[in-house]
Structure formats: C-alpha cells, structure tokens
Structure 1
C-alpha cells in the first residue's frame, strides 16, 4: 500500500499550485505521510483508499479517540474527479466499527472551502482550538 499511496501523493502534490515558500511544508507533510502509512499497525490507525483503474485516487487515515470517536487525520483525493472527497469520507465511515458514533474531522486551518465542506456534514459540536505556549 505504501508505494501506491506515495505515487498518489506525488501526483497530488504536483497538481497543487505551491508557492516556493510553502514547498518545505509540503515535503514535511509527505515525509510524515510516508511514516504514518509505514506504521499504520503500530499506530493503531485505520486507513482506506479508493482505487480507480488500479490507481489510488483517494485515501483517508484516522485513529480512535476514546470508545465512540474516530479522528480523521488525513484525507486526500484527486480533485479532478468530481465527488471523490465526499466518496472517500463516506466509504471510510461505512467501514468503521459499529461502536463508532462520532467522527472528528479536525480543524479547517482557516481555509474557507475546507470549513464549508466540514460544516456540510452538520457537526454535532464545534470546538475552538487554542495554542498553548510556555512563557519563560
């Protein structure tokens, strides 16, 4: 699975209009994804993918948060294929353990379209995120 996901990520990244100053973040994210996919079992994460014509075109990775919740840490899809983001979300959730009641979709990072997409799932609760810094 690692090879096919990494090929997908390379193609996904190539389609993005990345500014030079953003490239280091993209490379760090890609390295992190490689580590996560290699260690899915050790991390006790759940993963799913949509494969079209033998190619990964979308994938999702999450992990349990308590007894009734799963947190979706990563969700990527080929945006050239209409409806693929909702499809990977739907398929990922359909294959979760029956004990899972809630899906935490994490933050929207202030990205308007991402926030709109996440709100379209009609969340039960929104929690404001804070950053805690040590003061010395």
Structure 2
C-alpha cells in the first residue's frame, strides 16, 4: 500500500477516475479535493484500488472511493476501511451494494444544495419573489459587463476576493479565501471555468465552477462586493442563463453546518438536498 499527501501531480491519476464515478456529489472532483486538501488533510492511498483518506468537518477519519462502489470487492473494502472511522461520501444509491452488515448516517452540514438551472435562471414562483425583486433592482440601477474569467482579467477577480474578505467579520482561515485564491491562480490547470462581472466599469463579482457529471455543474466559488445591491442574485441568474443547455442542475455545495451559509443557500429554495452518507462496515 502506498500513501501520499494529495498534490497537484495526482491529477493524472484522479481526474478521469472521479469523472467516471458519475455522481452529483461535490467531492467527486479533483479540483474540490485539491483546493481543500489542507483543511481535510487529504491523502491518496494506492493499493488494489485508489482511495482518498481524509478528515471530516467534525474531526473523523474517512476513506473515499474513487471508483463506483459497485465495482469494488466488498470484503476488500471492509478490510481496508478498518483503518478509518467510516467510508464517505457515499451516494444513497450506492448503499445497496454494501449489504446488511453496516451502520450508516449522514451529517446535515455535508448535504449538497442542488437547484434546477431553470429555477436559478428565472427565479419563478412565490418563494423566490425577493430574488426576482433584487434582480430587477440590479438591472434597473446598474450597467454591467460580463467576460469569461481568463489570465487577462484574473487580477480583477483577486481584487474582488480581497474586498469580499475584508467585508466579512471572519479571518481568512475561517473562510474559503485561500482555496479561492489558489483556484484563481490555477483555474486553467484545474479545468475550472467562470465569469467575471463589471458594474459601472469596476470589478464587482465573479463565479467559478466545473462540470460534475453530464447534467450537473458545481459552483465552487461566487464572490461579490457587498455594496452592490443584488449582485449575488444577478450573478447566479446570469450564469445559469449562460450555461450550456445540457446542464439541468446546479450544485451549490454544502453549508458545513454554518448558519450563515445555511440561510443563504436555503433562501434559493433547493430542489434537491443531496445527502452524503457515512458508512461503517461491521
């Protein structure tokens, strides 16, 4: 068994493997694993199969498969998983492959918020009337430009990120500031794509993500300047409208058990709360 700290060089091993897993769970993305490798203390385990070993938000150790569970020998998985607290993140559809001799649970803060692209691109319905109103106010009050996020304008995204960090009452260590910084620096290498927005000629917000599977696009980062009313409602709406038509869903990732994130993500009324299960094989 070979065990190594997860680094960018592991992209050659992991990128395509994770794509083939074909799940809307946000962690099944090399960019996600790489950008949050320090927070979760990710390691790559190369044995008969390839796994990611990590630490959960509440301090437990886990083993993450990088192949669809249906293709892994269960006795082998039972044996190798004895080294950790549980196997995670497991799609609910995969539980059937484990058999009966398991204990499984899910931690609410790890659940992904998933919305239809149609919902975010229209803000239809009574529950989203506040989002529609903020969008209308933004479009009425501001002139804007939108450009693909590239090396030529990424310096403006860094400016937005710095302003965003200074505007919130948390240290960079308590936010995704450093992960977002690295994502901006390595957007091409990590196969991330995004848009940057200018309001009244000044950098105002950006959004960045990637394809998770054939019908789901995951948003890794979205940052906007607080003084521009409706900036987030506009960014999400505009981005959803510009997505290729093949995508039916947007994954806004988890809330990590943080109240502010839960309130913000819930306010867009998710269509699916996609649970990720922790499985202990007995």
TM-score normalised per structure 1? 0.79
- Preserved contact between residue 6 and residue 34 of structure 1 (Cα < 8 Å): yes
* Counterpart check, 1:115 vs 2:262: yes
Which residue in 2 is equivalent to 1:24? Answer: 173
Which residue in 2 is equivalent to 1:5? Answer: 157
Q: Distance in 2 between matches of 1:23 and 1:118?
A: 21
- Preserved contact between residue 79 and residue 85 of structure 1 (Cα < 8 Å): no
Task: Output aligned runs, 1:1-136, within 5 Å.
Answer: 1-18=153-170, 22-26=171-175, 29-129=176-276
Higher-RCO chain (CA-CA 8 Å, sequence separation at least 6): 2
Q: Distance in 2 between matches of 1:130 and 1:112?
A: 21
Of Structure 1 and Structure 2, the greater strand share is in 2
Structural RMSD (CA)? 2.3
Q: Distance in 2 between matches of 1:45 and 1:85?
A: 20
Tell me the secondary structure at the aligned position of residue 161 of structure 2. helix
Q: Distance in 2 between matches of 1:113 and 1:122?
A: 15
Aligned residues: 128
Q: Distance in 1 between matches of 2:278 and 2:198?
A: 37
1:94 deviates by: 1.1
Q: Which has the larger radius of gyration?
A: 2
Q: Distance in 1 between matches of 2:226 and 2:243?
A: 24
Q: Render the CA deviation track for 1:24-77: whole Å, top value 9, x for unaligned.
A: 345xx4343232123222222121122113322111111101100000111111
Tell me the secondary structure at the aligned position of residue 189 of structure 2. helix
Q: Which runs of 5+ in 1 are unaligned?
A: none
TM-score normalised per structure 2? 0.41
- Preserved contact between residue 2 and residue 34 of structure 1 (Cα < 8 Å): no
